[in-house]
Every structure is written in structure tokens, then in C-alpha cells.
């Protein structure tokens, strides 16, 4: 054998049987004769798991790169269509989108498993309508068990389950997209039925898919679609769907939304999701099947697994929603090591602490599961959990980097006696909690005291002790100390900021490096703690209010221009327990400096909040204080929007009309807030009412674009053209020029103005007197 054809590796020795019978087995290696469409079983087993459905043609791959670039430009709203194109922009997008869908037809599986084209499919899914989504998912049915375990196709499935909420909600309301051409390809199932068929497809392997690193996040999105859950204290359960790493990766892909809608931001998300009852039944069936197929030790193994723990957490939420968490041998009972069963059989005997739960308490992944157990378990079980695992150990747990989150969640269920004991036990640790920036337990105690309506003074004293503000005279430093999470002594030793260094040294001291951290940068933990204190009843929240009131105008400007610390001012205006006089004093203190406040990205938002709170009299004072800086605000990138809302031009010309307009806007704003609190707003997915649909008498007939001379003239132009212009013939004495002029305005108010102008004293010749030149 030539040297260049030899393979690397250890040479395999022949066995004794091969030496005796060297030609044995050669007859099986010869290809069998037969038709070309017959494929041997050995060939079908050699499937590449990375591309189970084959590779994509390079030309098609290059085409979908172009599709991705074009759709990303439209979704980022940075692309403008060519003005020479006669088509409507939406029509251009539609033709482009249809061409991409035609190219995609028959290649959905290959595109989903491709590393580059899978991202394109995710982007296209947001722009599909209900019918196209049904066609796309129908083409993938039968392969979902393979797709959800694939590295790239699993993200396509996850995105589909996320965007399918809108279509399922519409179908639940009876709005089903019609099939345009029902041909001989069979009946196209609704998306609701398709999802149910997908659940039947993966049901036999559901317990094994929970442990799969690629299928786990798909199952989370599927369970949230089947059984929408609003966790207590959580606005949205999206934390189950994607990890921080996955969220950061998807953020790099740009904005993903429909290219045919004008949706901006996150405010267009549907607050209420309607799903059929069959979806909830399927989710409950998944939970019960897992409970029947796995033993107690296997369920506890899922709780400690990084991949399966989030799915088990969702299943525990579903079990608690249907009221089966208190039954013996439930999933919650198994994770709690039989605590529910033992509490029913031997209620007087306290349970012994389990090493398994102690391990979950300090594990970064499993601690999230323990938070769910603490918040969803029955009351009598929580009492046993608190006494066995938390009480007497709070000083160590509150300072632990992981366990402090579980303690914070547990404090939300304490009664008054337990709250009192927790405050007494944690009293020696407040200064250490501030130094280590672990204020979650302290903030939870403040929130719980506010809910129970007791121990507010004790929690405030705990805050003052942690920041070294025991003396009444220094408590005005609470806001600066809390924002940087330093006690009073450490705060006074902090160096000044870069601007403060230049001002203190008159430019002689060198500037700090740009990459050096700012020692006075506000922290999120401190801002959240101050917001919780502002929600306490009036005698206890005044310390924070007085601390804000003691700040200088420049300090308030620095506070308002920071994205973290500006939330404190929002909380002060929104808190119902803060006195109205204190809120008004805050808004009034900025008069004369509003042009500095709104000339910033964050400060402009704070200025809008102050303007919305102010009454018409205070608004007039704010507007007149800004008049000298009107030109500078008009040239400001952020301040021009605030100046536009003030309508200073109207205030200068017609102050009375401006005051009436502000009174109406203030009344309308307060009425809308009251209506939003009393009546829930309809979701965007609801069909439009018949009254809101355009009718023949409401829709104007299409007309050509009006010329300049056909447009309605301005009031000032009409006035001077009619009364003082050169093109109009002057009327005789005693005649009404308004009646003679065919182009005179028909507005009665405008006619009164013209009559007053024409009634001015005239000369001897009957013509109006000419005005003197200034």
C-alpha cells in the first residue's frame, strides 16, 4: 500500500475467525441487484443529525440572506422606498414577501435546520398572516419531534409558539382566516387544531424532551401557549422562555415585528390571551402524565437539573392553578420531600429539615424553583417551611448571594407576628446588607409592612440604621446615601464626580479617566428601596419627601437626567400617600430651570410628568418661565417636543383661549385615567364593531390634490386681504364690505372681526385712515 494512502490510527488486528475464513462476509458487502428506488436499511441509518432533512442549495441560501437584510431594514424602520417607484410601499412589501414565501415552499424543514436560514424564518414568522402560518406549520407537522430537538430548528419552533398566540386568540373568538383556493390538496386545519396535533405528536416522549437542552425552551413556550399563567408579582412570564444568553443573542438580530404594521415599542402586546379550553386540558394532561411516569426521586432530579428545572417550575404553576398542589403525592409534594403528606397525617409533629431543600436554597438554578414552591404552597405548608428552613437562620440567609432572593419571596407571605420576629432577628445585619448591596430582604420587609399596615416605623428604623442615619438631623441625606448604597460616613468620603472635580479645582486638577467608574452613580437597588419607602403611609414616607425637598436645583437636575434615579421622582408623583403639597412643591421648585431639565433624553420624560401633574395655573407659570428660552428649546433635539406641547404661540396671542385649552386637557386626562381604572381596555385582537367600520356616507370620495389657491386661507391672510388688501375694491361709506365681497369668510366670529376693522374712523374722502409707519 502506498504511504500517502495509509490512514492514521492504530492498526486493527485480525481475529482468529478472520484468519481462518478470510473471504467470509464478502458476499454480504456486494450491492444487491434491483430497482434504483430500493434503499437498503443500512443507508437510511446514516443520517446526519445536524442536517436531518438535507442541505440547502447555496443559491437559495444567498437569496434568503437578501431577504433577511431587506426585512431587517424594514423592521428597523431605517429604509425608505425609492420615490420613483409608483407602487404603494405596502404593496411593494407584499410582493417581496409573497416571492419569499413561494421560494420557501417545500423547503421549510431544510431552512429550519440551517444555521443562517433559521433566523430568516424567525423574522418571517412575525409578518405572516393567519392563513400563511397555518400553511407553514402544516408543512412541518410530523417532524416536530426532530425539529424541537435540533439546535437551530428549536428556535424556529419557539418563535412560532410565541407568535401563534394572536392567531389562536382570534380563532377562539370565531375569526378564522378563509382558505382562498380550496383545491385538491385536502382540508387545511386551523392553527388551534394544528397545535393540538403537535401536542399529540410529542406526548409519548414528553418526559425525555424535558431533559433535552434544545427542546426544553420549546416546551416552555408551548406550555405558556396552552396554559397562560400570570405569576404573582410578575407582569409577564417571559422569564421562563429565554435565558439571559438567548435574550442577548436575539437582541443582536435587531427588531423582530411585522413589516405590515405600524406597531412601535412594547406597548402593543396583548394584555389578555384567550385560548380554548382544550389547550388547558392538554397542559394538565402533560402534567399528570409526568406525575404518573416518573417517581419521586426522578422528579427531584428534574428540580436540580439546569435544563429541566424551568419546565418543572411551569408544571408546578399549572398544578397550583387547577388546585392539585395540596393533594398527596403531587409534584409539589414530591419536590418538598413529602411535606404535604406528612402535614396531613401528623399535623402536630414538625418536619425535619431535608438536605435536598437546603441544597435547593443555595443553588443558583434551583432557587428559582424554590421561590415558586414558597409562593404557591398552601398556608399550613408555608408555616412549616418558614419555621424549619428560615426562622433562626435569617442572618446567614439574608446575606447569602443566592438564598437572599428566596428569603425575599418568603417575606411576602409573613403575618404580623412573623414579620415582627424577622425584624428582630435581622436587626444586627442591616449595615452588612447595605455594604454588600443585598437590599432585597429589606425592601421586601418594607413592602410587606405596607400591605399588612403594621410595623412601618420598625422597617423605617431598620433603613435608617443601615445607612447610619439614626440622628434626626442627618436624615435629609437619605436619598443621596440610598442611591449609592453607602452609609453616611462612606458617602461623605466619596470623591466628587468629574464635573465636581473641575469646579472644585478651577480646572487645575486633571480629569478622571472615562472608563473609571463613577463613585456616585445611582444603583438600581437603592432606587427600588426608596420607591418602596415612598409607598408607605404619610407619616413614614415624609423622610424621603423631605430628603428630596432638601436637594438643590442642580442636584435635582442630576437626579432627573439619570435613568435609574429619575424613577424616584415618578414614584413620588404617583404615590397616593405622598401629600399633594409636597408634589406641587417639587414641580414648582424647577420653575426657571425647565429648559435645562427637558434638554435631555431622560429629563424630557420627567418634564412631561411634571407638566401632566400641574394644574392650569401652574402650567401658565411654567410656560411663561420658558418663553425666554423658546428659541434654544426649538433647536434642542429633546426639548423641542416639550416646547411643542406648551403651545407658547397661542399663549402669547390669546392667553384666555390657551387657559381654556389647558383646563380641557387636564380634565380629559383625569377622566381617561378614571375610565382606565374602572373599565378594562379592549384588546387589539378584538374585531372592530359595526359602527366603527367605514360606510358609504362616511368615506369621502377620492379627489385630486388641491392646489395652493384652492386651500382654505389663514385667518390673518383673510383679514388683511379682505379689509386692508390692494386687490379688493374699497366699499363706499355706510356699505358693508363683507356683504359685497364674494370671498368673505362665512364664520360669524370672523365677520365680527371684519366689521370692527371696517368700522374704524375714516378720512374725509370716505377711505380708511392710513396707519403711520413706525
Q: What is the overall mean pLDDT for the chain?
A: 77
> Comparing 426 with 100, which gets the higher pLDDT?
426
Residues forming beta bridges with residue 768, ordered by sequence position: 762
> Comparing 530 with 686, which gets the higher pLDDT?
530
Checking if the pLDDT of 248 tops 50, the result is yes
Q: Which of 565, 532, 524 is nearest to 451 (CA)?
A: 532
pLDDT digits (tens, 9 = 90+) for 684-736: 333 333 333 333 333 343 444 444 444 444 555 555 555 444 444 444 333 44
pLDDT digits (tens, 9 = 90+) for 174-232: 888 877 766 556 688 899 999 999 999 999 999 999 999 999 999 999 999 999 875 44
Mean pLDDT of 625-646: 89
pLDDT of residue 196: 94
Q: For the chain, how big is the Rg over CA atoms in Å?
A: 36
What's phi and psi for 762, nearest 5 deg?
-105, 165
pLDDT digits (tens, 9 = 90+) for 386-443: 999 999 999 999 999 999 999 999 999 999 999 999 999 999 999 999 999 899 999 9
Rounded Cα–Cα distance for residues 529 and 607 (Å): 23
pLDDT of residue 273: 72
DSSP state at residue 724: I
Checking if the pLDDT of 281 tops 90, the result is yes
Checking if the pLDDT of 648 tops 70, the result is yes
Cell numbers at residue 470, please?
Answer: 439614626
Q: Are the C-beta atoms of 427 and 462 separated by less than 8 Å?
A: yes
Checking if the pLDDT of 565 tops 90, the result is yes
Q: Which of 515, 486, 485 is nearest to 498 (CA)?
A: 515
pLDDT digits (tens, 9 = 90+) for 294-346: 999 999 999 989 899 999 999 999 999 998 888 888 999 999 998 988 888 77
pLDDT of residue 671: 56
Rounded Cα–Cα distance for residues 381 and 63 (Å): 59
Rounded Cα–Cα distance for residues 275 and 32 (Å): 55
Mean pLDDT of 763-772: 44
Among 86-90, 584-588, 594-598, the minimum mean pLDDT is found in 86-90
pLDDT-derived band at 115 (thresholds 50, 70, 90) equals: confident
Question: For the whole model, what pTM was predicted?
Answer: 0.74
> Comparing 456 with 719, which gets the higher pLDDT?
456
Rounded Cα–Cα distance for residues 758 and 741 (Å): 13
Amino acid at each position: 500500500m502506498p504511504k500517502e494512502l495509509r490512514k492514521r490510527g492504530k492498526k486493527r488486528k485480525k481475529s482468529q475467525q478472520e484468519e481462518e475464513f478470510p473471504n467470509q462476509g464478502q458476499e454480504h458487502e456486494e450491492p444487491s441487484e434491483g430497482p434504483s428506488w430500493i434503499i437498503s436499511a443500512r443507508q437510511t441509518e446514516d443520517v446526519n443529525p445536524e442536517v436531518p432533512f438535507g442541505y440547502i442549495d447555496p443559491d437559495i441560501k444567498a437569496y434568503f440572506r437578501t431577504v433577511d437584510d431587506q426585512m431587517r431594514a424594514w423592521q428597523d424602520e431605517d429604509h425608505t422606498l425609492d420615490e420613483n417607484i409608483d407602487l404603494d410601499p405596502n404593496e411593494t412589501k407584499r410582493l417581496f414577501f409573497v416571492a419569499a414565501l413561494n421560494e420557501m415552499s417545500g423547503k421549510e424543514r431544510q431552512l429550519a435546520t440551517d444555521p443562517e436560514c433559521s433566523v430568516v424564518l424567525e423574522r418571517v414568522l412575525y409578518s405572516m398572516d393567519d392563513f400563511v402560518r397555518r400553511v407553514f406549520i402544516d408543512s412541518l407537522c410530523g417532524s416536530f419531534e426532530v425539529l424541537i430537538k435540533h439546535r437551530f430548528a428549536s428556535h424556529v419552533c419557539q418563535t412560532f409558539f410565541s407568535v401563534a398566540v394572536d392567531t389562536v386568540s382570534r380563532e377562539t373568538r370565531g375569526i378564522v382566516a378563509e382558505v382562498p383556493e380550496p383545491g385538491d390538496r385536502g382540508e387545511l386545519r386551523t392553527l388551534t387544531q394544528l397545535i393540538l396535533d403537535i401536542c399529540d405528536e410529542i406526548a409519548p416522549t414528553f418526559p425525555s424532551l424535558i431533559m433535552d437542552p434544545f427542546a426544553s425552551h420549546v416546551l416552555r413556550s408551548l406550555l405558556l401557549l396552552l396554559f397562560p399563567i400570570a405569576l404573582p408579582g410578575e407582569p409577564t412570564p417571559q422569564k421562563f422562555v429565554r435565558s439571559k444568553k438567548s435574550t442577548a443573542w436575539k437582541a443582536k438580530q435587531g427588531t423582530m415585528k411585522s413589516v405590515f404594521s405600524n406597531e412601535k415599542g412594547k406597548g402593543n402586546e396583548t394584555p389578555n390571551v384567550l385560548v380554548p379550553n382544550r389547550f388547558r386540558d392538554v397542559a394538565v394532561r402533560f402534567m399528570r402524565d409526568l406525575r404518573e411516569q416518573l417517581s419521586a426521586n426522578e422528579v427531584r432530579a428534574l428540580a436540580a437539573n439546569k435544563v429541566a428545572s424551568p419546565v418543572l417550575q411551569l408544571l408546578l404553576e399549572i398544578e397550583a392553578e387547577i388546585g392539585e398542589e395540596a393533594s398527596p403525592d403531587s409534584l409539589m409534594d414530591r419536590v418538598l420531600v413529602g411535606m404535604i403528606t406528612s402535614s396531613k397525617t401528623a399535623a402536630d409533629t414538625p418536619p425535619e429539615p431535608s438536605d435536598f431543600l437546603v441544597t435547593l436554597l443555595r443553588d443558583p438554578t434551583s432557587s428559582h424553583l424554590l421561590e415558586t414552591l414558597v409562593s404557591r404552597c398552601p398556608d399550613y405548608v408555608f408555616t412549616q417551611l418558614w419555621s424549619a428552613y428560615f426562622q433562626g437562620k435569617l442572618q446567614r440567609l439574608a446575606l447569602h448571594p443566592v438564598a437572599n432572593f428566596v428569603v425575599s419571596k418568603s417575606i411576602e407571605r409573613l403575618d404580623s407576628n412573623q414579620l415582627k420576629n424577622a425584624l428582630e432577628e435581622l436587626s444586627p445585619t442591616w449595615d452588612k446588607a447595605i455594604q454588600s448591596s443585598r437590599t432585597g430582604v429589606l425592601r421586601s420587609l418594607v413592602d410587606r409592612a405596607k400591605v399588612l399596615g403594621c410595623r412601618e416605623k420598625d422597617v423605617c428604623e431598620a433603613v435608617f440604621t443601615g445607612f447610619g442615619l439614626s440622628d434626626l438631623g442627618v436624615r435629609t441625606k437619605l436619598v443621596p446615601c440610598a442611591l449609592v448604597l453607602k452609609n453616611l460616613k462612606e458617602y461623605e468620603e466619596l470623591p466628587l464626580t468629574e464635573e465636581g472635580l473641575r469646579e472644585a479645582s478651577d480646572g487645575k486638577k486633571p480629569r478622571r479617566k472615562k472608563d473609571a467608574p463613577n463613585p456616585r452613580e445611582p444603583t438600581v437597588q437603592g432606587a427600588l428601596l426608596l420607591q418602596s419607602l415612598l409607598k408607605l403611609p404619610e407619616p413614614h414616607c415624609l423622610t424621603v419627601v423631605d430628603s428630596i425637598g432638601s436637594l438643590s436645583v442642580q442636584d435635582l437636575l442630576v437626579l432627573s437626567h439619570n435613568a435609574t434615579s429619575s424613577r424616584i421622582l415618578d414614584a413620588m408623583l404617583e404615590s397616593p400617600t405622598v401629600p399633594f403639597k409636597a408634589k406641587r412643591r417639587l414641580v414648582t421648585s424647577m420653575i426657571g430651570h425647565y429648559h435645562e431639565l427637558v434638554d435631555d433624553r431622560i429629563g424630557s420624560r420627567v418634564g412631561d410628568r411634571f407638566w401632566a401633574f400641574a394644574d392650569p395655573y401652574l402650567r401658565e407659570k411654567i410656560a411663561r418661565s420658558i418663553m425666554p428660552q423658546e428659541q434654544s428649546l426649538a433647536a434642542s433635539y429633546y426639548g423641542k417636543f416639550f416646547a411643542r406641547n406648551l403651545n407658547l404661540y397661542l399663549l402669547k396671542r390669546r392667553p384666555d383661549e390657551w387657559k381654556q385649552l389647558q383646563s380641557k386637557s387636564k380634565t380629559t386626562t383625569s377622566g381617561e385615567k378614571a375610565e382606565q381604572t374602572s373599565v378594562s381596555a379592549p384588546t387589539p385582537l378584538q374585531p372592530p364593531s359595526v359602527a366603527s367600520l367605514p360606510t358609504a356616507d362616511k368615506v369621502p370620495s377620492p379627489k385630486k390634490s388641491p392646489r395652493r389657491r384652492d386651500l382654505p386661507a389663514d385667518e390673518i391672510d383673510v383679514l388683511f386681504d379682505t379689509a386692508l388688501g390692494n386687490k379688493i375694491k374699497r366699499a363706499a361709506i355706510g356699505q358693508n364690505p363683507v356683504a359685497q365681497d364674494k370671498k368673505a369668510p362665512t364664520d360669524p366670529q370672523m365677520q365680527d372681526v371684519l366689521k370692527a376693522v371696517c368700522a374704524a374712523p375714516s378720512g374725509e374722502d370716505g377711505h380708511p385712515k392710513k396707519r403711520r409707519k413706525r
